[in-house]
Amino acid sequence: MQRPGIVVRQLAFDLPHVASFRRDDFLESPSNCAALALVDRWPDWPSRIAAIIGPAGSGKSHLAAIWSELAGARIVAGHALSHADVPAQLATSALVVEDVAPGRIDEAALFHLFNLAREDEAYLLLTASQRLDGTGFVLADLVSRLRAVPAVTLAAPDDALLSAVLVKLFADRQLAVDEGVIAYLLPRMERSLASAREIVAKLDTAALSRGRAVNRQLAADVLRND
């Protein structure tokens, strides 16, 4: 029996939530349609190497996963790329290199990858948060290769996309929310898909711990304490 004046909170366990990177789960909008078209157009690319540029949480990894399934490509993080492993990583004649950035990737290994991909007529898809115009890279030959890579840029998500993403993220967690919650969150959140995921996760945790539904008041409480 609960004592008067004592508030009982449920324990909220931080269980892992796995995002789905299937093609059917990708939400198309004007901010990402050019990048999605690039992926869908494969292998009819103007070059066998392409890049998708966008900030963290903008959908680069989702697009890379879609292309990986289409092309049978392996995926390697830029910081994990090594000269010795390049031949094995290109074994399927298609490779994704995620988060290419100066100072966080072995430039000699990346240059070797470019050369081997050209020799083997393999496909490469690079993702990066900044334009690959050579800025910050040291190896001159690599800089010239990077500048020649055709790239598409993910724009900041618009309200329509953020709203659809929020609805999907709540649904993925079996959380029913009304339009008022979405309308409340949109003007108060950072304009990024990463922020949408973070907010939904926090609201899920708060709802579990307080034994409450996700409503406008809970959203206000969570944002106020963020």
More reliable by pLDDT, 156 or 81: 81
Determine how β-strand 123-128 pairs with β-strand 94-98: parallel
CA distance 125 to 99: 11
Q: Report how far residue 91's alpha carbon sits from residue 167's, in angstroms, rounded to the nearest whole number.
A: 39
For the chain, domain boundaries: 28-153, 159-224
Residue 21 pLDDT greater than 90, yes or no: no
pLDDT band at 19 (very low <50, low <70, confident <90, very high): low
CATH annotation of 28-153:
3.40.50.300
**Cβ atoms < 10 Å from Cβ of 203:** 25
CATH topology match: 28-153 vs 159-224: no
Cα–Cα distance, 115 to 109 (Å, whole number): 10
Strand extents, DSSP E, the chain? 49-53, 74-77, 94-98, 123-128, 151-153
Q: What is the pTM of this model?
A: 0.79
**Confidence (pLDDT) at 56:** 81
* Amino acid of residue 99: D
Q: CATH class for domain 159-224?
A: mainly alpha
